[in-house]
Structure 1
Amino acid sequence: MILAIITCLFWLIVLIDAFLGMRKLESLTNVSEDLGGNTPLVSIIIAAKNEAKDIKKSVQSQLKQTYQNIEWIIVNDRSSDGTGKLIEELVQEDHRVRSIHIHELPSGWLGKNHALYQGYLVSKGDILLFTDGDVYFEKDTVVKSLSYLTKNNIDHLTLTPDMDVKPFWAKAFVTFFLFGFSYFKRPWRANDDQSPVAIGIGAYNMVTKEAYEAVGTHKSISMRPDDDLMLGVSIKKIGRKQRIVRGQSHLQVEWYSSLKEAIIGLEKNTFAGLYYNYFMVIFALSGIFISQVWPYLALFYTEGVTRTLYGISILLLFLVYRETANVMAKGAVRYFLVFPISAVIFMYCIARATILTSFRGGIQWRGTFYSMKELKKKP
């Protein structure tokens, strides 16, 4: 009964925090396009490895931007498919597009981080926008982002994308991930200049070049698999202003096309997100089981007031899910029906990533192996 009371109180506090916090996140839809005559050059830097499926259509969606003062730098990071050829076709289609082809990865770098850094080195804009080769923009995405950045006098803006995931179990897993990300990371706190909470999302990290250079560029996070988040952390740490804005209406990405792909994809950063700390892994697994799986099992193994309290916990879980995942992903609430199964799958994902990383002595990411020694090394 004591555990049931603690669980209820925990989710009640999380619900109040999420209810108030999520309402503090502005939507890009409501942002004005008025730049007040300020039209800086924006350098959109894209790291692409084996993105033949999406790269051309993705960039073409970006080329339709109503804001014109943009250059695109697409970095082909050792692709083995037709990515390089498609990038060169884009260069021929629009004079604003430039290409870089990387054939070898120097030591001390993860491929994506190195590619983004190489893009920065040739960029000319005072505003940098780091994004991926499978992200689709609405035509007013950049102008609204720039308007928000300049009017609020901030150094870093990140947008939440619409996760366009089709298969049922992949979508259930992704929405659970968004739920966990929201209540654990509390992204709305990143918008509080006095809070140490920081954020960064790989689909859309817009940052002033001055701030990017002040944190040491991608050199300072050269071996971080979670480079997008760590870029935001680095910027907040030196006292610069950052904001996260809901951008689902303006940004779309198919994060993973299947549940298997999602589990494999998270191999690289799940253990990294727990700082390669086994105690943190045990704490995370225990916490998820006790707070998100056990309440369902307890309905069958407890009775009386204790069972009622666990029933209330599940109701509170649903309300938190509705306030977080359902705001971050369209129609997510229906996947709450398989919530405990999604939680178990996520626990498996954490355990699997930890065991594989430890057994291999590092991570295998996009055809390149990175040792734990390299990953833990500070730049």
Structure 2
Amino acid sequence: MIAPIIALGAVALAVLAVVNALVFLRPSRSGDGDNDASVSILIPARNEEQRINLCLAYASAQSALVKEILVYDDQSSDATAGIVEAWEKIDRRIRLIRGDTLPAGWHGKPHACYRLAENATGTWLLFIDADVRLRSGAVERLLATAAHHSCTLLSAWPAIAMKSLAETLLMPMLNFYVFTLFPSPLQLASNAPRYALAHGACLLCHRDTYWAIGGHSTVRNELFEDTALARHWRASGQRALCCDGQQICTVRMYSGVREIWRGFEKNFYPGFRRKWLFVFVMAIHVAVFTVPFIGLLVSPTLPFAVAASSVLVARGALALRFREPVWPSVMHPIAELFLIALGISSFLRWHSRRGVEWKGRRYRSSTVEEGAR
């Protein structure tokens, strides 16, 4: 009796993934936006000496709509500031802002973004991470999409650059994880906060609206500040959307198994607003996305075959949409077990005294609980 239920769940979630692959919001063509707009590119950076140079190179290559490129050096202990200072001599739009002590009650990235916004003068604020490479015409396409859909906050879901075997095997799970659960058609049909989605690697917002609703001060203690900000944006009556950013920007989030583990371990559990939701989603990943493959090995039945095939269809559809290699789909059970172990480890870390450490800062469970209120 359980196997048919699992198969039904797998088919339903595969259908959702295929629908998302087909209808996830595509960006508008450049030239359809406000050509009189001015854009401030804002980059929070902490110990980014390996990434900031290319980030600035691609940002600097954007059009004259970019009024300024501001980098907030969040007390880096490496050569980040020196690299930015060298770029200041190459492009007058680039300016380094030296970070100050992190105030109580704030997390590093929201505070850095808030300080960047304080110094920005463009009519639009484009927040990007230091590992982002903007594609040619990215700013124009973002502005055109925001204008076409009448939104004052627009996030672009970036293309994920994968170089190592571990990245190619594991990183596609990010899109699978999100788009087998998030109903992207509803973000256009409804402006309800629960249908908000954002990727902090690339986030455009109108400056006047940003300050009217409080900006990053409203998500000061959030680790998932991107989607939290989009939720707050919608709750304030403003429209916030997330579009496919494959032709807008590329990001190489982590390199190698160790970085992938540490990076997602800090974010996995905090991404859930409630403990019960974490348990529910993990149960889906175990029962629907993992058990069918084990079942085919132990006791092959039609329901398990249907469920496993549905999972592979979902993986393949999302791989094609996001221009990822398709072959890692057949290795799904390995990647899924990695994801489940990562989720459990994240949960245990956040509820231990140690918490998790990222770039020299430590976060504990109280941080997550406060951010969920």
TM-score by length of 1: 0.92
**CA RMSD of superposed structures (Å):** 2.0
SS class of match (1:90): helix
After superposition, residues 125-140 of structure 1 pair within 5 angstroms as 125-140=122-137
Q: Number of paired residues?
A: 371
Q: How many Å separate the matches in 2 of 1:361 and 1:186?
A: 35
Q: Is the 8 A contact 1:62 1:139 kept in 2?
A: no
Q: Give distance in 2, aligned partners of 1:280 and 1:160.
A: 23
Matches within 5 A, 1:16-35: 16-28=15-27, 31-35=29-33
Q: 1: CA distance between counterparts of 2:181 and 2:319?
A: 12
**Residue 373 (structure 1) aligns with:** 366
Q: 1:329 Cα deviation (Å)?
A: 4.2
User: Do 1:67 and 1:142's aligned partners in 2 also have CA atoms closer than 8 Å?
Assistant: no
Q: Find the counterpart in structure 1 of residue 55 from structure 2.
A: 58
Alignment check: 8 A CA contact 2:157 2:198 kept: no
Q: Deviation at 1:112?
A: 1.2
2:163 is paired with a residue whose SS is coil
Deviates more, 1:193-202 or 1:88-97: 193-202
Query: Equivalent residue for 1:241?
Result: 239
- Contact 2:172–2:324 (8 Å) recurs in 1: no
Partner of 1:223: 221
1:159 to 144, 156, 159: 156
1:359 equivalent in structure 2 = 352
Following superposition, the deviation at residue 227 of structure 1 comes to 1.0
Q: Alignment partner for residue 322 of structure 2, among 317, 325, 328?
A: 328
Map 1:174-193 onto structure 2 (within 5 A): 174-193=171-190
- Equivalent residue for 1:101? 98
Spell out, residue by residue over 1:297-332, the C-alpha distance to the aligned partner (whole angstroms, 9 max, x if none).
1113325xxx1111111111111112224422422x
Secondary structure of residue in 2 paired with 1:93 = coil
- 2:206 matched to 1:208? yes
State, as a whole percentage, how many aligned pairs show the same letter: 22
Q: Distance in 2 between matches of 1:366 and 1:236?
A: 31
User: 1:283 corresponds to which residue?
Assistant: 280
Following the alignment from structure 2 to structure 1, what is the Cα–Cα distance between the partners of residues 298 and 36? Answer: 63
State the 1:361 CA deviation: 5.2
Letter in 2 for 1:284: V
Q: In the alignment, which residue of structure 2 is the partner of 1:339? A: 332
Q: What is the deviation of 1:374?
A: 4.1
Deviation at 1:17, TM superposition (A): 2.8
1:317: which partner in 2?
Answer: 311
Q: What are the residue-to-residue correspondences of 1:38-49 with 2, within 5 Å?
A: 38-49=35-46
Aligned partners of 1:268, 1:335: CA distance in 2, in Å? 24
| Residue identity in the other structure for 1:323 | A
Whole-Å separation in 1 of the counterparts to 2:141 and 2:236: 26
Cα shift at 1:118: 0.5
Letter in 2 for 1:56: N
* Pairing partner for 2:169 from 172, 175, 179: 172
Q: Deviations over 1:161-207 (max 9, x none)?
A: 11111122222211112101111223343232355310110111111
Cα distance in 2 between the residues matched to 1:223 and 1:65: 32
For the 8 Å contact 1:22–1:188, the answer to whether it is kept is no
One-letter amino acid of the counterpart of residue 234, structure 2:
K
**Does residue 1:121 correspond to 2:118, yes or no?**
yes
Q: Could you list the per-position Cα deviations for residues 105-154 of structure 1 after superposition, in whole angstroms to 9, with x for gaps in the alignment?
A: 12111111111110011111221111111100122000111122123221
Cα distance in 1, alignment partners of residues 177 and 221 from structure 2 = 25
CA distance in 2, matches of 1:375, 1:290: 26
- Cα distance change of structure 1 residues 220 and 362 upon mapping to structure 2, 3 Å threshold: farther
Letter in 2 for 1:330: E
Task: Return the alpha-carbon distance in structure 2 between the equivalents of residues 9 and 52 of structure 1.
Answer: 48
CA contact (8 A) 1:31 1:148 kept: yes
Q: Structure 1 residues 149, 280: CA separation in 2 closer, same or farther (over 3 Å shift)? A: closer
- Distance across 2 between alignment mates of 1:371 and 1:329: 36
Given residue 8 of structure 1, which amino acid in structure 2 is its aligned partner?
A: A
Deviation at 1:65, TM superposition (A): 1.1
Contact 2:351-2:364 within 8 A present in 1 as well: no
Name the amino acid aligned to 1:344: L
Q: Which residue of structure 1 lines up, in the alignment, with residue 342 of structure 2? A: 349
Where does residue 254 of structure 2 map in the other structure? 256
Separation (CA, whole Å) in 1 of partners of 2:355 and 2:212? 30
2:74 pairs with 1:77? yes
Tell me the distance in 2 between the aligned counterparts of 1:18 and 1:282: 21
SS of 1:75's equivalent? strand
For residue 275 of structure 1, what is the amino acid of its counterpart? R
The 5 A counterparts of 1:259-278 are 259-275=257-273, 277=275
Secondary structure of the structure 2 residue equivalent to 1:23: helix
Cα distance in 2, alignment partners of residues 375 and 104 from structure 1: 22
- Indicate how the Cα distance of structure 1 residues 284 and 243 shifts in structure 2: closer, same or farther if over 3 A, else same: closer
Which deviations, in whole Å up to 9, do the C-alpha atoms of 1:314-364 show, x marking residues without a partner? 111111112224422422x21012101111100111111111121135432
The offset of 1:103, in angstroms, is 4.1
